[in-house]
Amino acid sequence: MLAGFHKLDNDNFKNHRGICNMRKKVLFILIILFIAAALPAVLLFFRERLPLETDIAGLKEQDMPGLHQIEPPDGAQLLTFPIDNGAIIAGYHNAAYLEKMGYLHYGIDLMVADGGYAEVFSSGAGVVLGTEFCDNSPGHIAIIQYDDVFVPLTGEIISLIARYYHMVSLMVDTGDVLSPRQPIGSIDSTHEHYHHIHIELDANIEFPFHTPQVAEISSTLLHRYPASGEKMPDPISVLAVGDGQRIFVHPRALYCAEKDNPQFSYAKQH
C-alpha cells in the first residue's frame, strides 16, 4: 500500500513538473511573440535618434559643380537652399541610407559646411502652417507652404509644403507670412542632435502635416499615416543655389550619390 502511495506521488510530481515545463514553454513563446510584435515600434521610436554622420568634419573650401542658371517666369518664385554655406550629407532616397537606417530618406540633410552655427532661411515667400519643438531628434520643426513655385526640372508652377527638422532654435510662429530669406531658425554642427537641417518638399498641400519621414511617437504635429510620399519630389530637382550661397555634397558623405549635387542657380539678382 505504501509503495502504491509513493508511486502515485511520483506520478503526480512528474505530471506537475510536465505542466510547469509546458507553462514555461508557452510563456517563452508568448515572450518571443511579444518581442517580435514590439520590435518594429521600438525601432520606429529610436530610428530618428540614430546618429547621422556626426563624425564628418567641416570644410573651409569646396568647389561647387557646374549649375544651370534659372530665372523663374513672371509671377512665379524659385526656391533656394535654406542655409548659405551647406554641405549635403544625405540625399533623397539614398540606397545606403535605406540599408543603414531601414527606411527611406524623403528629403536632404545639410550641415554647416565649415562647422558650427548657421541661420536657417525661408526658401521663398511663404506662410508658416505649423511649428513644434520635439524633445528628441526632430528638435524645432517648421512647416511652410510656398505657392507659385517654379520647378526647374519639369517647368511646372505648383504649390509645395516644405518641412524643416532638427533646428536648435526657432524664429517664426504659426501664421507668420515670410519673405524670401527670412530667418526661421538655426542649426549648430557642434550640437549632439541638431547639427544639420533636414528639408523635405511635398506637393500634397491638402495634408501638410502628413509625412512618412518622422515616427508618430516623435511628434504631436506630424502624422506618419496615411502619408505615402508619392508626391514628395527630390529637393535637388526644385531648390536653386541663391546669390552668395555655396552648396555642395560633402566628399565624405556616406549617404550621397552624384545625383545629390545641386543642379540649379538663381540667375536673377535679388
Residue 9 inside a domain? The answer is no
Segment 194-243, tens digit of pLDDT = 889 999 999 999 999 999 998 777 899 999 888 889 999 999 999 999 99
Segment 178-204, tens digit of pLDDT = 999 999 999 998 888 888 999 999 999
Residue 13 inside a domain? The answer is no
What does DSSP assign to residue 73?
Answer: P
Provide the b/e sequence for 44-76 (b: ≥16 CB within 10 Å). beeebeeebbeebeebeeeeeeebeebebeeeb
pTM: 0.78
Residue 41 inside a domain? The answer is no
Residue 26 inside a domain? The answer is no
Residue 138 inside a domain? The answer is yes
Q: In angstroms, rounded to a whole number, what is the distance separating the alpha carbons of residues 42 and 46?
A: 6
Taking a C-beta distance cutoff of 8 angstroms, is the pair 93, 106 a contact? Answer: yes
List CB contacts of 113: < 8 A, sequence separation 6 or more: 58, 59, 62, 85, 86, 87, 246, 248, 250
Q: Which residues of the chain have pLDDT under 70?
A: 1-63, 65, 268-270
Tell me how far the alpha carbon of residue 265 is from its chain's centroid.
Answer: 24
Residue 32 inside a domain? The answer is no
Residue 23 inside a domain? The answer is no
Domain that holds residue 92: 50-266
Query: What CATH number is associated with residue 122?
Result: 2.70.70.10
Structural domains counted in the chain: 1
Q: In angstroms, rounded to a whole number, what is the distance separating the alpha carbons of residues 141 and 123?
A: 15
* pLDDT value of residue 137: 84
